[in-house]
Structure 1
Amino acid sequence: MFTAGGFHLVHVKGHPAHRVDAPILAVSPHSSFFDVLLIVVMGAPSIVAKGEVTKIPFFAKYIDYTQPVYVWREDPNSRQNTIQEIKNRATSKEDWPQIMIFPEGTCTNRSCLITFKPGAFYPGVPVQPVIIRYNNRIDSFTWTWDGPGALKMLWVTLCQFHNFCELEYLPVYTPSEEEKQDAKLFASNVRQVMADALGVPVADYTYDDCRLMHKAKLKNLPYQTGLIEFQKLRQRLGLNLKNVEEELLDQYADIAISDGQITLPDFARYLGIPESEPALVDLFKLYDKDNSNTIDFREYLVGYCQYAKPANNEDTLRCAFKLFDRGGKGRILLRDLIKALRASLDMTQEETERIFKQTDQDNKGYITYEDFEAHAKRKPEYAKIFLTYQESIKNGTRPRTAHLPPPGKKKAD
């Protein structure tokens, strides 16, 4: 099948280790659905794959043949279950196949190696790094979240007479005692070995960052920074997730009553961070798009809701309504609705005005959140606002409410 697709020969360098010497194979860079070719070349090792691959016609049966370990990303217990299964197989005396893992956890464009997930390294057993190269002049293989779709990539690849693929086995990496106790250190050191062999840099991006970058792109933010910088800067400032959202919204009720415009000194005071902190200045600039030296602090809080609860639009929308509700009376004016929907859903002023007019049929001059929700659910064109929320309830996978941090709250040492 792969021969018909132009992969007439896969060049193999190095020597594959026996399972006894290296129970786990760490393969990078993961950049394409064509990487499944390795399953054939490497003798059908067990793979760790996302559960969604079970829905792929035809290929799913071949993957099942390898006795895979599936990761179900919507299951909060799946991560721990996966790690435990990897440990059990890697340390088992039974004749399990080697476990093949793409430690990056997502497809990249091969220009660097992003942060390795530690799952393959928790067992603390020797790992054989394996690197992949696609050497065609025309790159028709790279399949990432921000690029051509799978069918287009497949078609362009089939149009090439020969597709060059190279597989290189690096020497087995045996962890030190320190690495056995620290899976992240183990993963980082293996990544560096592979990056050196590939001649590419490493980058501190993760699968979760790709999700956040996608969100930033949808919001028309510069997604090379955008929500990624938002997250990284918050981490540098020591602001992490805490279960105090309602309390925080109460503390910032005065901002909702006012126009929410604050300066850098105010921003520093609300977060309890020194004004001279460079990361605080960078975070402030993310929201000061017009270089006015002021930002709407409510937009920052809504942005945090999106970061903390990326899969739940209704919670983000409720957060926006609370923050833009002048006086805390449970109702919102048109000018504030425009700001709230722009901050939470990136909705245009014209669309917001149309929604407001259709919702405020009694011409009261204001609407409540319940008015807006009822109107949106009656209109098919706005159903997307609540689609994720309803699906999460239906599937029983609605995330726990993630809450905003209190001012000045720091990470525990």
Structure 2
Amino acid sequence: MSEQQIVVLDPTAGNPEAEQRVLRERGPATRVDILGVEAWSVSDPALLKELLTSKDISKDGHAHWPAHAETVTTWPLAIWVAVKNMFTAYGPDHSRLRRMIAPALSARRTAALQSGIETLVTGLLDDLDKLPAGESVDLREHLAYPVPITVIGQLLGIPVDQRTEFRSVVDNVFATHLTSEEQKANTAALYGLLDALIAAKRTTPGDDMTSVLVTTRDEEGDGSILSDAELRDTLLLMISAGYETTANVIDQALTILLSDPDQLVHVHAGRSTWSDIVEETLRYEPPVKYLPLRYALVDIPLPDGQTIRAGDAILAAYAAANRHPSLHKDADRFDATRPSKEHLAFGHGVHFCLGAPLARLEVTTVLRLFFARFPDAQLAIGHEELQRLPSLISNGHTAVLVRLRPITTN
């Protein structure tokens, strides 16, 4: 078959739905350019699941991507493939690092956080409740952001006065419109914050996950359990995954429900639950559209006759896969009553997101308490006027302007 032209992905996410349709139309996988790096974008959910569970696919670019060394020096997304944590680990290294984090995010520990999360959300809603009727407020800034950054900040023992700095640099990790030099400066600032946090926990450990990891690293002085690079990159992973993605799901769920009140009617009528809303949001507008990168260890023949060659980079196109017609009928429509809401928003296989239960708890709590407090809330602008984050990775809005109460007239 003739070779297809490479699809250049838009770093500013100008029209992601159209871009994802193009990817699906070109078959189960197609070659794309992601900020100057060529990769195979996989949008067919069956093929994507197969690759995500295959031992012939690695996330360790250091070991299994021939272009790694030259790419990380100039690629704006270098941090996504250069870090050393369970996100990029392969085989035994991945199992070792995942075992260290899993207990902190177990079902039991996550359930124990529910009361604190409800208290946190209630306090934020109390502040919003003080606004005059008719005044608009940005719910991304005043609800979707503070909930996850507070929760992950408490879990990791990040001082309150440092969380805004962490938020800023983590936002930029997902910002694909920045230049390579801007990203290098951001990475330096991010690691400066992480190194300062680690140093503080060495001096004054607390009852938090950072202190546990620092103690584990220091007690095993040769770094065989956790190296210095793995320590700080594991913290980076927990902060970025625990904050940015959850903020996006809250953002998208609020936006969808305020744009389509019929979905709320389903909840009130008992035809769906808040959990249904969350799962359909994850399917319809996953927090991450594309996730860089994986690498083929062997040649992989595709159903349409193409071949992913050993050493080729692979891009998981989660947003495109979630709306694939083979996975869902009428997939471009949000429907909380949809019988199956199967999605890949949290990944699949051994790299499935450990923080998924916590994210679901946070989003469900926000939606339940917000709409109980503000049942008449409305978007302050049309849905089509909402500005998307300039990122081909992160899937949210720059702001979600909402009027919590309409102005009443006598």
- For normalisation by structure 2, the TM-score amounts to 0.22
Larger Rg: 1
Q: Which has the higher helix share?
A: 2
- For normalisation by structure 1, the TM-score amounts to 0.22
